[in-house]
Amino acid sequence: MISVIGAGAFGTALANSFAATSPVWLWGRNAQSMAQMQAERHCPRLPGVTLDPALSCSGDITALPAEGPVLLAVPMQTLREVTTRFAGALAKRTLVLCCKGIELSTGLRPSEVLAQTLPGATVALLTGPSFAADIARGLPTALTLACADRAEAEALQAQLIAPHLRLYRTSDVTGAELGGALKNVMAIACGAAIGAGLGDSARAALMTRGYAEMSRMAAALGARPETLAGLSGFGDLALTCTSEGSRNYRLGLAIGRGEVFDPAVTVEGAATARATDALARSRGWDLPITAVVTGLVDARLDVKTAMAQLLARPLKEETP
C-alpha cells in the first residue's frame, strides 16, 4: 500500500491518482476534516474532484500502514517538525519527499533534513513540473523520481503508477532537489517583472539567467548538469515562471503590482530565496537574481530598483 503524509492539494492529488491502481492511505493533521473527506469523498482544496474508492483518509497517524512507501507531501518549512513528531512511525521506512525548498533555519535540503530526523530511512524525491489541479484532473504529467539507490528507485517507479503520470529516474538527488527549490525563486522574479509591466522579454531574460544561477549553485554542491536540464530543473522552471497556477509566480505578480499577497498562502520560494541568499553570501557565490528576490520579498527593494541593479552589473561573456 502507498501512504501519503499531508492532505493539502498536492498530497491529495497524488494520493487520488495512485489510488487508481493501488490502495492508498492519506493522512492529514485535521482529524475532523479527514473524517469529512472520507465520508463525503471530496477534498475542499480540489473542487470538482471525486476521491477514488481505493483512497482511505485518516487523521490518526497510528493507523499508518506498516508496509509500502510513504510520501511526505508537507511544506518544506514544516518537514523537520512533522518527521520529528512521527519519527517512531516513519523510522526505517522508504520515504518519498514531495516538498520543494531549502530549510530557512539551517540552509539544508529536504534529504539533508531527513538524514538528521530519520537517519535509518531510505530516501527518494518526487519532483518536477506539476500543479495539483492538473494531476487531480487526470491531465498528462511527467515527474522526476530521484533516489541514490537504483534498485529502490526501480521498485518505487513500478509502485508509483497512475494512468496519467510518467516517472523518470535519476540517482542525482541533490540536483533534483535544487532544481525544484531554486526555480521557485526565479518564478517570483518573473512574476514581479510581469506584474510591474516590464514585459515578456524581461521574463525570458530572468528565466535564462535564473537557470544559469541554478546551474552554478547545483554544480558547486556536486549536482550533475544534466539533472538541471531535465524535468526537475528546466521543466519545472518553464512551468512555474509562466503560469498563474504557481503560488510563487502569483506572489511575484502581487509584488510587481504593489498588491498585498494573502499571508495564509504558503509560498516556498520566499523562504528558499532567503536561505539561498544567506548560503551564497557565506560561500561567496554570485547569485544576483536570488539576492534581488530576497530584497523584494523582504520589502527592502522595489521592482524598479531591483531591475536597475541587475541591469547595472558589469558587462561579461555569457556563460551557462
Amino acid at 52: D
Beta bridge partners of 55: 24
Q: What pLDDT digit, counting tens, does each position of 91-121 carry?
A: 999 999 999 999 999 999 999 999 999 999 9
CATH 1.10.8.60 fits 182-311, yes or no: no
Residue 299 in grid coordinates: 520589502
The closest of 89, 98, 96 to 58, measured between CA atoms, is: 89
Residue 318 has pLDDT above 80, yes or no: yes
* 3-state DSSP helix/strand/coil % of the chain, to nearest 5: 50, 10, 35
CATH code 1.10.1040.10 region(s) in the chain: 182-311
CATH code 3.40.50.720 region(s) in the chain: 2-171
Q: Is the pTM for the entire model greater than 0.85?
A: yes
* Rounded Cα distance, 216 and 320, in Å: 8
- What pLDDT does residue 141 have? 98
- What pLDDT does residue 320 have? 75
Answer yes or no: are the C-beta atoms of 117 and 200 closer than 8 Å: no
- What pLDDT does residue 22 have? 94
Residue 160 in grid coordinates: 508509483
Residue 148 in grid coordinates: 541514490
Residues forming the active site: 183
The closest of 127, 77, 72 to 237, measured between CA atoms, is: 127
In the chain, % of residues over pLDDT 70: 100
Q: What pLDDT digit, counting tens, does each position of 184-230 carry?
A: 999 999 999 999 999 999 999 999 999 999 999 999 999 999 999 99
Provide the pLDDT confidence category of residue 266 given band limits of 50, 70 and 90: confident
What's the CATH number for 2-171? 3.40.50.720
